[in-house]
Structure 1
Amino acid sequence: MENPEQPKAFPVSWDQFHRDARALAWRLSGQGEWQAIVCITRGGLVPAAIVARELGIRMIETVCIASYHDYENQGSLQVIKPVDPKVVGLDGGQGAGVLVIDDLVDTGKTARVVREMLPKAHFATIYAKPMGRPMVDTFVTEVSQDTWIYFPWDMGWQFQPPLAKTTAG
C-alpha cells in the first residue's frame, strides 16, 4: 500500500523528454505565428531549445523566477530577471505573438506571475498538474498533483528502489 505522504515518482529519461518536447512543438505548430519564445528558467531552457528548433523560432528570451528552493518544497517566488520590454512589446504588446515555455506547471504560481507580465502570450508546458492546469494553454501530459517529476538533468545513474517496499520472493 502506498504512503499517502510520499509523492509518486515519475522519472523522465532524456529520450522521453525529447520525445515529449517534440510532441509539444507538434501541438503548437498550427496554433500561431510565434515571434519569440520566452522560457522560464531553469526548467524551460531545454524544452524551449527543442521547440525553437522544431518551429524555426530564433528569438529566445528568458524570464528568471526562483520557486523551488530545496527541490522538495515550493517556496516564495522571486523574479530574478523580468522579460525584456522589447519582447513584451512584440505584435502589439502584452506578449501577443510570444510563446512561453516551461517544463512543468505545478501549482500555477510561477505561471500566474509570467501571465501578469505577458497576458496575451500562449503558455505551453510539457507536463501539467491539476492545480496549475488552468494557467496553461497547451501541454503534453497531465500528472497527478502528488507526483514528483524527476527530470533527466536532475538525475544520475543509480539504483531505483521498487514501488513496493517488499517484494514476494
Structure 2
Amino acid sequence: MSDDRQNKAFPVSWDQFHRDARALAWRLAGAGPFVGIVCITRGGLVPAAIVARELGIRLIETVCIASYHDYKNQGETEVIKPIADIVTAAAGPGGQGLLVIDDLVDTGSTAKVVREMLPRAHFATVYAKPAGRPIIDTFITEVSQDTWIYFPWDMGLSFQPPIRDGVA
C-alpha cells in the first residue's frame, strides 16, 4: 500500500512480538498435528522459529516471495524460491499437515500465491488486516487496513514524538 493510505503506526517490540508468536503457537497447538512448517520469507522466519520451538516441529522450509519492494509500497508478487518437493512429499495431498507461517497478512496477495501451492495447508499469521483475513486460518491480532506495522527487525532505537504532536 502506498504511504498516503497508511495513516497509523503500530510499532512492535521484540518482547511483544515474542509474546504474540507464542500466543500463536498456543492457538495452533490444538489445530495440528503438523508434519512441518513452510514459512513465507522474510517476515515469516522469526515467528516460524518460535512456533517450531513451541510445537516441537523440526521440518522447516521457506517459500521466498517478494511483494513489498521498498517497505511501504506493495508491488507485483514474485516467487523467488518455491517449496522443495521433499517437503510437499512429506505432507498429505495439497499440503495437508503443513503449517504456513507469516508475520502478517495485509491484502492477502502473498498468501493467495502460497494457498495455490498448498490449498490444504493451515495458514497462520501473527497479525492480520481485514483485506487478508479470509485467506488465512489462524491469527492473533487484527489491525486496521490503514495501519503500518513496524516490526522489531526493521527498527532501531530512536525517539518517538508524542501522539499529541500529530505524529503517528
TM-score by length of 1: 0.93
Q: Paired residue for 1:150?
A: 150
- Report Cα offsets for 1:128-167 as digits up to 9, x if no partner: 000000011000000000000000000000011222326x
Letter in 2 for 1:155: M
Q: Paired residue for 1:41?
A: 41
**Contact 2:8/2:146 (CA < 8 Å) preserved in 1?**
yes
Ranges in structure 2 where 5+ consecutive residues have no aligned partner: none
SS in 1 for 2:116: helix
The whole-number CA distance in structure 2 between the counterparts of 1:5 and 1:96 is: 37
Q: Paired residue for 2:73?
A: 73
2:35 is equivalent to residue 31 of structure 1: no
2:97 is equivalent to residue 103 of structure 1: no
Letter in 2 for 1:153: W
RMSD (CA atoms): 1.4
Higher relative helix content: 2
**Contact 2:6/2:147 (CA < 8 Å) preserved in 1?**
no
**Contact 1:90/1:96 (CA < 8 Å) preserved in 2?**
no
CA apart distance, 1:7 = 1.8
Larger Rg: 1
Letter in 2 for 1:131: A
SS in 1 for 2:94: coil
CA apart distance, 1:44 = 0.2
Q: How many residues align?
A: 164
Letter in 1 for 2:84: D
2:163 is equivalent to residue 163 of structure 1: yes
- Report Cα offsets for 1:110-133 as digits up to 9, x if no partner: 000000000000000000000000
Ranges in structure 1 where 5+ consecutive residues have no aligned partner: none
Letter in 1 for 2:52: A
The whole-number CA distance in structure 2 between the counterparts of 1:103 and 1:5 is: 20
Letter in 1 for 2:38: V
Identity %: 75
Q: Structure 1 pair 93/6, CA: closer, same or farther in 2 (3 Å)?
A: closer
The ranges of structure 1 where at least 4 consecutive aligned residues each deviate by more than 3 angstroms after the TM superposition are none
CA apart distance, 1:86 = 1.9
Q: Paired residue for 1:18?
A: 18
**Contact 2:6/2:148 (CA < 8 Å) preserved in 1?**
no
Mean CA deviation greater in 91-100 or 50-59: 91-100
The whole-number CA distance in structure 1 between the counterparts of 2:71 and 2:5 is: 16
**Contact 2:20/2:140 (CA < 8 Å) preserved in 1?**
yes
CA apart distance, 1:87 = 1.5
